[in-house]
C-alpha cells in the first residue's frame, strides 16, 4: 500500500514535470487567455447555457448534449431544450458591431463583406426548420460507430429568422460553374491551432438557393444563443445539422464540392452502396449525406408511465422527413403486428416537423411498448430495426418506442 | 630582482587571488541558490500532489475520478496524451477494436493535429483496446433503465 503510494507520488511528480515542460510548449501560445481548461462539472452546462436539467451531456469539451424525448414536446423547440453539437471551442468576446460576413470564392462574381446591420437591411424571413444531427441514434449501431453516442435527442425544430442565402448570393453574383457553398465559423479547433477549422461544411448551390435556406440572426424571436451560433448561423433545414454552420463569418461559393474540415473521409458520409456491418469502406466509396430520412418521436407521455386502472392513453409527438413531407404516422402496441393511424398536422412551412397525435386503447392489463412509425411522401417508412450499418453511424431512423404498464 | 620589484609582483598576485576567491564565492552562492530552488519546486510539487490526493482520491472503484477512465496499464499515458484537446468523455463513450482505436488515432494525427505518440502509442492502444472494446448489441436492444412513474 505505502510503496504503491510512493510510486504514485513519483509518477505524479513526473507527470507534473512533463506537464510543466511539455504542455505549455505545445499549447500555451494558442490557448485563449481566459479559457479555463478544467474538467467542468456537468451542471455547468445547464447553468452556463440556460439548459433544461433533463438535457444529457455527452461531452464537456467540446460541448455535446442531447434532449430526451419527453422534453421535446414543445411544437417549437425552445433554446433550453435544443441539442448542442460543437466540434470546437465556442468563440470568446464576440463584438456584434464588428462582426462581418464575407462572401467570396472561385464562383463568386464579386467579393462582398456585410455587417450585421447590412444583413438586417435585406428582407427578413422566418421559418420553423428541423435540424437533426447526422449521428442522432448512433448509439444503436453494431458494431459500434465512433463519435458522440447520440441516442434520440439530437433533433430540434426552432423558428429561425434572417436573410435568405439566395438573396445574398444574388447580391454577390454567382458564376455558372458554382457547385457548392462552404461555410467558415469562428469556433476554435480543439488543438488551439488558429490555422485549423474544427468544421467547415456547407450545401450544394441548389440547396443554398432554396427559399428556406437562411443566414439567420434570430432564433425563436431572439438573438441566437451563443452555444447555437451567435450572432450568425447558416441554417439548412432537413439536412444534417452539421451543414448549418455556427458563428458564421465567411461563405465561399465554390466551383467544386467544398473541401473544408469534415467534408471528406467518412465524416458526414455513408457508403454509396450498402455494406455488411463492420465492413471497411474506402473513402472514395463514401457519399455525402444530404436530406435526412423520415423519422418521428413520441414526446408524450414520457416512457415508463403506469396507467393504473385506465385503459386508454393520449399520445403525441413530431415527425419529419428531411426535404420531404410526412404523409402518415402510425403507432403499434403489439410490436408491429397491427398499426393504427394517427392524426397528423400539416407542417408550419416546408422543412418544419409535423405534429401527430393518437389515442391508444389497451385490450388488457400488462406491459406494452408503443412504437411510432412515420411514412414520407415518397412512401419510405421508418424501419423497426436499426437500418443499414455505416462506418460512422449516421442516419439511424429506427422507430422510437416507449414503455407503458397498464393495471 | 630587487626588493621593490618583488613586492610589486606580490601585490599583483594578491589582487588576482582576491578576485579569484570572490568569483568563486559568488559562483558557489549562485549554484546553491539554484539547487535550493529546484529542491523547493520538487518539494512543493509533492506537497500539492499529496494535498490533491487527500481531497479527491485519484482512483475509486477502479475508475480514475477526474477523467472517468478505467484503471489499467497505460492509464497515465492516456490521461497525458488524450485529454488535452477534448475531454475523456470522447473516449469513455466509445468502444472499438484494436484496429479501430489505431485508425482513430491515425485519423487524429492526419487531420486533427495529434502528435506522433512514438513508443507510447502501443501501450496507449493496448489500454484502449483492453478497456474500451466493443460489445454485441444486436439489431435492436430492448428498452432499458425505464423509470416507472404513476400517471395521474
Q: What is the pLDDT of residues A276-333, one digit of tens each?
A: 999 999 999 999 999 999 999 999 999 999 999 999 999 999 999 999 999 999 999 9
Contact between chains at B149 and A401 (C-beta distance less than 8 A): no
* Mean pLDDT score, A341-370: 98
A119-168 pLDDT, tens digit per residue, is: 999 999 999 999 999 999 999 999 999 999 999 999 999 999 999 999 99
**Residue B140's pLDDT band (boundaries 50, 70, 90)?**
very high
Residue B35's contacts (CB-CB under 8 Å, 6 or more residues apart) are none
Contact A172, A231 (CB under 8 A): no
Q: What angle do CA B63, B65, B71 make, to 5 degrees?
A: 30
B79 with B110, same domain? yes
A225 with A255, same domain? yes
Contact between chains at A146 and B148 (C-beta distance less than 8 A): no
Q: Which 8-state DSSP code applies to residue B118?
A: G
Give the nearest chain A residue to B137 (CA atoms): A142
Q: How far apart are CA A239 and CA A212, in angstroms?
A: 12
What CATH number is attached to the domain comprising B93? Answer: 1.10.760
DSSP string, B98-114: HHHHHHHHHHHHHHS-P
Per-residue pLDDT at B29: 54
Indicate the residue among A244, A265, A288 that finishes a domain. Answer: A288
**Containing H/E element for A235?**
strand A233-235
Compute the nearest-CA separation of B14 from chain A (Å): 46
In a domain, A87, yes or no: no
The full 3-state SS of A73-106, as one line of letters, equals CCCCCCHHHCCEECCCECCCCCCHHHCEEEEECC
**Residue B15's pLDDT band (boundaries 50, 70, 90)?**
low
In a domain, A52, yes or no: yes
Give the nearest chain B residue to A62 (CA atoms): B86
A250 with A390, same domain? no
**Residue A4's pLDDT band (boundaries 50, 70, 90)?**
very low
Contact between chains at B76 and A191 (C-beta distance less than 8 A): no
Contact between chains at A190 and B85 (C-beta distance less than 8 A): yes
Among residues A309, A306, A314, the alpha carbon closest in space to that of A368 is found at A306
Of B84, B94, B136, the CB nearest to A142: B136
B41 with B75, same domain? no
A116 with A261, same domain? yes
B78 with B45, same domain? no
Here the contacts of B43-50 (C-beta below 8 Å, separation 24 or greater) are B45/A13, B45/A16, B45/A17, B46/A9, B46/A13, B48/A16, B49/A9, B49/A12, B49/A13, B49/A16, B50/A9
A180 with A34, same domain? no
In a domain, A330, yes or no: yes
Contact between chains at B138 and A261 (C-beta distance less than 8 A): no
Mutate to test the interface with A, among B42, B45, B52, B145 (most CBs of A within 10 A): B45
> Which residues of A fall within a CB distance of 8 Å from B149?
302, 304-306
A300 with A282, same domain? no
Q: How far apart are CA B83 and CA A276, in angstroms?
A: 33
Number of domains in chain B: 2
Residue B126's contacts (CB-CB under 8 Å, 6 or more residues apart) are B73, B74, B98
Give the nearest chain A residue to B94 (CA atoms): A146
Q: Is A239 exposed, middle or buried (0-12, 13-18, 19+ CB in 10 A)?
A: buried
Indicate the residue among A262, A288, A314 that finishes a domain. Answer: A288
In a domain, B11, yes or no: yes
In a domain, A79, yes or no: no
In a domain, A81, yes or no: no
Q: Is the dihedral of CA A264, A266, A267, A271 positive or negative?
A: positive
Compute the nearest-CA separation of B8 from chain A (Å): 54
Of A37, A196, A310, the CB nearest to B113: A196
Q: Quote the strand ranges of A91-219, DSSP E.
A: 100-104, 112-115, 125-132, 155-164, 180-185, 202-204, 214-219
* Mean pLDDT score, B53-78: 87
A238 with A304, same domain? no
A231-271 pLDDT, tens digit per residue, is: 999 999 999 999 999 999 999 999 999 999 999 989 999 99
B45 with B79, same domain? no
B83 with B39, same domain? no
**Residue B42's pLDDT band (boundaries 50, 70, 90)?**
very low
- From residue A255, alpha-carbon distances to A38, A269, A280, A366 in Å are 43, 20, 31, 60
Compute the nearest-CA separation of A269 from chain B (Å): 15
β-pair type (A305-306, A400-406): parallel
In a domain, A363, yes or no: yes
Of B50, B100, B149, the CB nearest to A306: B149
Among residues A347, A236, A220, A326, the alpha carbon closest in space to that of A288 is found at A236
**Residue B152's pLDDT band (boundaries 50, 70, 90)?**
confident
Average pLDDT, chain A: 91
A342 with A360, same domain? yes
Number of domains in chain A: 3
Per-residue pLDDT at B8: 76
Contact between chains at B140 and A9 (C-beta distance less than 8 A): no
Mutate to test the interface with B, among A62, A64, A191, A406 (most CBs of B within 10 A): A191
B121 with B82, same domain? yes
Among residues A61, A292, A302, A304, the alpha carbon closest in space to that of A157 is found at A292
Instruction: Inform me whether the pLDDT recorded for A274 exceeds 80.
Output: yes
Per-residue pLDDT at A24: 33
Strand order in the sheet with A400-406: A340-341, A326-332, A366-376, A400-406, A305-306, B149-150
A42-86 pLDDT, tens digit per residue, is: 568 999 999 999 999 999 999 999 999 999 999 999 999 999 999
Residue B61's contacts (CB-CB under 8 Å, 6 or more residues apart) are none
Instruction: Inform me whether the pLDDT recorded for A22 exceeds 90.
Output: no
In a domain, A242, yes or no: yes
Give the nearest chain B residue to A369 (CA atoms): B143
In a domain, B91, yes or no: yes
Contact A216, A55 (CB under 8 A): no
In a domain, A90, yes or no: no
Average pLDDT, chain B: 81
User: What's the pTM?
Assistant: 0.84
A177 with A226, same domain? yes
Per-residue pLDDT at A191: 95
**Residue B5's pLDDT band (boundaries 50, 70, 90)?**
confident
Task: Give CA A149 to chain center in angstroms.
Answer: 13
Per-residue pLDDT at A18: 34
Of A143, A369, A386, the CB nearest to B143: A369
Contact between chains at A146 and B104 (C-beta distance less than 8 A): yes
Q: Cell for B142?
A: 430492448
What residues pair up with A371 in beta bridges, in sequence order? A332, A401
* Mean pLDDT score, A7-26: 34
B31 with B77, same domain? no
B121 with B83, same domain? yes
A256 with A324, same domain? no
What CATH number is attached to the domain comprising A245? Answer: 3.90.420.10
Q: How far apart are CA A239 and CA A292, in angstroms?
A: 5
Contact between chains at B140 and A385 (C-beta distance less than 8 A): yes
Per-residue pLDDT at A23: 34
In a domain, B64, yes or no: no
In a domain, B147, yes or no: no
A224 with A331, same domain? no
What residues pair up with B111 in beta bridges, in sequence order? none
Give the nearest chain B residue to A87 (CA atoms): B86
Per-residue pLDDT at A27: 40
Q: Cell for B149?
A: 412513474
Q: Which 8-state DSSP code applies to residue B120?
A: G
Give residue A61's domain range: 3-67
Give the nearest chain A residue to B50 (CA atoms): A9
Indicate the residue among A288, A306, A325 that finishes a domain. Answer: A288
Give the nearest chain A residue to B77 (CA atoms): A15
Give residue B45's domain range: 3-49
A389 with A313, same domain? yes
Contact between chains at B49 and A18 (C-beta distance less than 8 A): no
A280 with A328, same domain? no
In a domain, B145, yes or no: no
Please, how many CA atoms are within 13 Å of residue A123, restricted to the half-sphere of its CB? 8
> Which residues of A fall within a CB distance of 8 Å from B39?
none
Question: Which residue, chain included where needed, has cell 398499426?
Answer: A339
Amino acid at each position: 500500500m505505502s510503496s504503491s503510494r510512493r510510486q504514485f507520488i513519483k509518477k505524479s511528480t513526473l507527470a507534473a514535470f512533463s506537464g510543466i515542460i511539455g504542455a505549455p510548449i505545445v499549447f500555451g501560445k494558442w490557448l485563449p487567455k481566459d479559457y479555463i481548461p478544467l474538467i467542468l462539472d456537468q451542471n455547468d452546462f445547464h447553468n452556463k447555457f440556460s439548459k433544461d436539467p433533463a438535457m444529457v451531456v455527452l461531452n464537456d469539451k467540446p460541448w455535446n448534449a442531447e434532449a430526451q424525448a419527453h422534453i421535446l414536446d414543445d411544437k417549437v423547440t425552445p433554446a433550453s431544450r435544443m441539442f448542442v453539437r460543437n466540434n470546437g471551442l465556442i468563440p470568446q468576446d464576440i463584438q456584434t458591431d464588428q462582426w462581418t460576413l464575407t462572401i467570396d470564392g472561385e464562383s463568386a462574381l464579386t467579393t462582398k463583406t456585410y455587417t450585421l446591420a447590412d444583413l438586417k437591411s435585406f428582407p427578413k424571413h422566418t421559418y420553423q426548420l428541423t435540424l437533426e444531427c447526422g449521428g442522432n441514434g448512433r448509439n444503436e449501431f453494431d458494431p459500434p460507430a465512433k463519435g458522440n453516442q447520440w441516442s434520440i435527442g439530437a433533433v430540434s425544430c426552432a423558428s429561425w429568422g434572417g436573410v435568405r442565402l439566395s438573396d445574398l448570393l444574388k447580391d454577390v453574383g454567382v458564376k455558372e460553374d458554382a457547385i457548392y457553398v462552404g461555410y467558415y465559423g469562428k469556433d476554435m479547433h480543439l488543438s488551439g491551432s488558429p490555422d485549423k477549422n474544427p468544421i467547415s461544411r456547407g450545401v450544394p448551390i441548389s440547396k443554398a438557393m432554396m427559399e428556406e435556406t437562411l443566414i439567420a440572426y434570430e432564433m425563436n424571436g431572439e438573438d441566437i444563443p451563443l452555444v447555437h451560433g451567435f450572432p450568425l448561423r447558416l441554417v439548412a433545414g432537413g439536412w444534417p445539422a452539421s451543414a448549418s454552420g455556427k458563428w458564421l463569418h465567411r461563405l465561399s461559393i465554390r466551383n467544386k464540392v467544398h473541401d473544408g474540415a469534415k467534408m471528406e473521409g467518412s465524416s458526414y458520409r455513408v457508403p454509396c452502396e450498402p455494406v455488411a456491418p463492420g465492413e471497411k469502406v474506402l473513402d472514395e466509396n463514401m457519399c455525402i449525406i444530404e436530406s435526412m430520412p423520415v423519422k418521428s418521436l413520441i414526446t408524450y407521455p414520457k416512457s415508463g408511465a403506469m396507467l393504473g386502472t385506465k385503459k386508454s392513453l393520449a399520445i403525441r409527438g413530431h415527425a419529419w422527413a428531411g426535404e420531404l413531407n410526412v404523409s402518415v404516422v402510425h403507432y403499434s402496441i403489439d410490436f408491429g403486428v397491427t398499426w393504427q393511424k394517427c392524426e397528423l398536422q400539416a407542417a408550419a412551412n416546408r422543412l418544419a416537423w409535423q405534429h401527430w397525435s393518437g389515442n391508444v386503447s389497451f385490450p388488457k392489463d400488462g406491459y406494452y411498448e408503443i412504437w411510432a412509425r412515420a411514412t414520407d411522401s415518397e412512401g419510405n417508412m421508418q424501419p423497426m430495426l436499426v437500418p443499414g450499418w455505416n462506418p460512422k453511424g449516421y442516419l439511424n431512423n429506427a422507430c422510437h418506442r416507449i414503455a407503458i404498464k397498464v393495471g | 630582482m630587487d626588493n621593490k620589484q618583488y613586492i610589486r609582483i606580490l601585490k599583483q598576485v594578491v589582487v588576482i587571488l582576491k578576485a579569484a576567491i570572490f568569483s568563486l564565492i559568488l559562483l558557489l552562492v549562485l549554484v546553491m541558490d539554484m539547487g535550493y530552488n529546484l529542491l523547493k519546486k520538487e518539494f512543493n510539487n509533492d506537497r500539492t500532489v499529496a494535498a490533491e490526493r487527500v481531497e479527491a482520491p485519484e482512483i475509486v472503484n477502479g475508475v480514475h475520478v477526474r477523467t472517468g477512465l478505467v484503471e489499467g496499464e497505460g492509464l497515465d499515458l492516456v490521461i497525458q496524451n488524450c485529454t488535452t484537446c477534448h475531454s475523456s468523455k470522447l473516449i469513455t463513450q466509445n468502444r472499438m477494436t484494436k484496429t479501430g482505436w489505431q485508425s482513430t488515432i491515425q485519423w487524429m494525427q492526419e487531420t486533427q493535429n495529434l502528435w506522433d505518440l512514438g513508443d507510447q502509442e502501443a501501450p496507449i492502444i493496448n489500454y484502449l483496446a483492453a478497456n474500451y472494446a466493443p460489445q454485441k448489441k444486436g439489431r435492436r436492444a430492448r428498452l432499458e433503465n425505464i423509470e416507472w412513474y404513476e400517471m395521474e
